Structure 1
Amino acid sequence: MPELLELEQLVRLAGPLMQTRLLCEVEAGARRFPVWAFLLGSARADAPAVGFFGGVHGLERIGAQVAIAYLRSLVMRLAWDETLHRQLETLRIVFMPLVNPGGTWLGTRANPNGVDLMRNAPVDSPEPVPYLIGGQRISARLPWYRGAAGEPMERESAALCALVQAELLGRPLAVAVDCHSGFGLTDRIWFPHAHTAQPFGNLAEMHALCEILDRTLPHHRYRLEPQSRQYLAHGDLWDHVYLGATRGSVFLPLTLEMGSWLWVKKNPRQLFSRHGIFNPVIEHRHQRVLRQHIAWLDFVTRAAGSHARWLPTGAQRAWHEQQAMVRWYGRKG
């Protein structure tokens, strides 16, 4: 796979400045694939952290490619960028850019066992979810299969959760960005909850982050919203790790949902390719997507490292929470 080959090259280029961690291995037919994590920066437990994830759905290769492109940009800067080195002294950066290598190899949304990893966590919605798309236990032959009831999570899902637990949770601030494609004509940034329409506990911090994004990149193309505004789902991995986060710390799990319908609109022939529905096929459009989203990932990294300058407290936090309720739920808190 090109993605694995590029990751191997980046490990060689980074040398001792980047740690690698083999999280697990998965089988796809006669082949066996590693699931890697890559770690940069401060090892202090009280340092803020940011994590980048991709390739949860094997068909959505652009998600893995965006995460890898940003990792490459950091690795290439290690040789000359003093500002980056100072940033890494006080910030932990974690990458898991190819969560589902077996599904990527097979060209499937699910992993080689037929399980949709983003429906695989032990989180059940107390509210009605859309049929099938919200997660189902009928059969692995149908999409959005959650896995059998009572069974442990898949290796890839468990590895992601363990990495988040070890590297992101319990810090003064941690942000996770999970890169996906395949929803609508607009690039969206989703945050919890996915399993319920009720607001999540760090709504004030999310609103403060959105505010500095709007001020810093006033012409950005992202629509920021709770996932529940689009649909509810069982088994969401990010809801699962968020619900297990330590109280008193701030954890903001974000999902970048790239609007792949726009690529199809510009090139309708992509409809005749399974990969074309979820990925930009034309090369110049592919490069444009990488450039656009790398800028946003870099913003998130800088925001995490500078959290003390914008994270709200006291009366300011109450104000942000009230504004968030009006912005995203149409009512006062």
Structure 2
Amino acid sequence: MAVVIAETASAAVAALPELHELLRLIEQGGALLHCRELARVRVPEGDLPVLAVTLGNPDPSVPAMAVIGGVHGLERIGAQVALAYLSSLVRRLRWDVGLHQQLESLRLVFMPLVNPGGILKGSRANPAGVDLMRNGPQDADRPVPWLVGGHRLGPMLPWYRGPAGAPLQPESDALCRLMREELLGRPFSLSIDCHSGFGLHDRIWFPYARSRRPMPHLAEVHALCEVLDQGLSPHPYVMEPQSRHYLAHGDLWDHLYDEALTLDRGIFLPMTLEMGSWRWVKKNPRQLLSRHGMFNPLIEHRQQRVLRRHMAWMDFMTRATQSASRWLPGPDTRWDHGEQALIRWYRRNRG
């Protein structure tokens, strides 16, 4: 751990407070956290590490949850939410016997800064100009919005997918490797990818982004939505498939979800927290004068409020992951959950 921190002590870290905070949390967690470097990204200020932090039981038979942030460098609040939740756990590890007991039957995985070069540059894309959430190999099954849905015209335009047939970007590859090593193949696993910049409401998106076809585990997602509505009510979240709003090529979570299906060794539910940043702009229209203002709460007290706002949901999702065997639908209820989900999200009638 000390080697990682020493090698990372550079001008790049000094210019990236989120990375400095992550290294501080790793140091505070000590032997209870495990950190590994998955990739390095070259920027003018020096190399930046792409780090993953794990805690809890590594046994592949226990459920696991991953918290991801910083995929889009312009959306710093996503990285900050992931770091805030990790920070709360590190503080609780000092005294919370219940948390230690919970971690005996749970694996937690954090990757708060998937795209440190993009965060440093204030860019949605990585330093190579590639949008990591358009970098997967799969294409949408019908036309996507021009540019926004992903393109191969070149890195000077946003939402660039990268060259056709090229390997995944180092950051994308690091994320996929981490999910394969830590989540895919377990009896149950769930990921939360923290983003911002869409609408006035906080939304929880699930696959698919590439298709309006319902995902095979729609019944399980509906059961999770039901326990969320029952266990954390009232809550501010709108849970829905991403395809209700737009389709996109190359979504990494679609890619990983489809890969998990081929393994056929458990249930993997990738979720995206899409924080409604338009609400922050509505309260402070001057944010439009900054390119960061469309995606982040620029006023300090609003930023702290956003960080606090999602901690209860993160904790709920952690407990839901640990207790998945108690709410996942069985053979006698799965069909009904699936039918209710089709009515709720795909406007299909029973029949």
Structure 2 Cα separation of the partners of residues 139 and 12 of structure 1: 40
User: Which residue in 2 is equivalent to 1:19?
Assistant: 34
Residue 332 to residue 314, structure 1, CA distance change in 2 (3 Å): farther
Structure 2 Cα separation of the partners of residues 126 and 11 of structure 1: 42
Which runs of no fewer than 5 residues in structure 1 stay unpaired?
A: none
- 1:242-281 aligned at under 5 Å gives the runs 242-245=257-260, 246-281=263-298
Residue 319 of structure 2 is aligned with which of 299, 302, 323? Answer: 302
User: Which residue in 2 is equivalent to 1:240?
Assistant: 255
For the 8 Å contact 1:28–1:106, the answer to whether it is kept is: no
Structure 2 Cα separation of the partners of residues 177 and 327 of structure 1: 22
The CA deviation at 1:218 is 1.5
User: Which residue in 1 is equivalent to 2:207?
Assistant: 192
For the 8 Å contact 1:125–1:195, the answer to whether it is kept is: yes
For the 8 Å contact 2:186–2:265, the answer to whether it is kept is: no
- 1:209-228 aligned at under 5 Å gives the runs 209-228=224-243
Structure 1 letter corresponding to 2:148? I
Cα RMSD (Å):
0.8
Residue 175 of structure 2 is aligned with which of 160, 176, 181? Answer: 160
Residue 315 of structure 1 is aligned with which of 323, 327, 332? Answer: 332
Structure 2 letter corresponding to 1:293? H
Structure 1 Cα separation of the partners of residues 46 and 27 of structure 2: 24
User: Which residue in 2 is equivalent to 1:47?
Assistant: 62
Could you tell me the TM-score, scaled by structure 2's length?
A: 0.94
Residue 230 of structure 1 is aligned with which of 242, 245, 250? Answer: 245
* CA offset digits 1:203-249 (Å, max 9, x no partner): 01100000000001111111100000000000000000000002141
- 1:88-237 aligned at under 5 Å gives the runs 88-237=103-252
Structure 1 letter corresponding to 2:92? R
User: Which residue in 1 is equivalent to 2:51?
Assistant: 36
- Report SS of the residue matched to 1:244: helix
Structure 1 Cα separation of the partners of residues 58 and 172 of structure 2: 24
For the 8 Å contact 2:133–2:250, the answer to whether it is kept is: yes
| Residue 67 of structure 1 pairs with residue 82 of structure 2 | yes
Number of equivalent positions: 333
* CA offset digits 1:255-300 (Å, max 9, x no partner): 0000001000000000000111110011111011000111111111
- Report SS of the residue matched to 1:276: coil
The CA deviation at 1:29 is 2.5
Between the aligned residues of both structures, percent identity stands at 61
The CA deviation at 1:332 is 4.2
Structure 2 Cα separation of the partners of residues 38 and 241 of structure 1: 20
Structure 2 letter corresponding to 1:269? R
- Report SS of the residue matched to 1:315: coil
User: Which residue in 1 is equivalent to 2:18?
Assistant: 3
Structure 1 stretches of 4+ with a deviation exceeding 4 A read: none
* CA offset digits 1:46-69 (Å, max 9, x no partner): 110000000000000000000000
| Residue 80 of structure 1 pairs with residue 134 of structure 2 | no
Could you tell me the TM-score, scaled by structure 1's length?
A: 0.99
Structure 1 Cα separation of the partners of residues 349 and 32 of structure 2: 47
| Residue 328 of structure 1 pairs with residue 345 of structure 2 | yes
User: Which residue in 2 is equivalent to 1:282?
Assistant: 299
User: Which residue in 1 is equivalent to 2:10?
Assistant: none
Which runs of no fewer than 5 residues in structure 2 stay unpaired?
A: 1-15
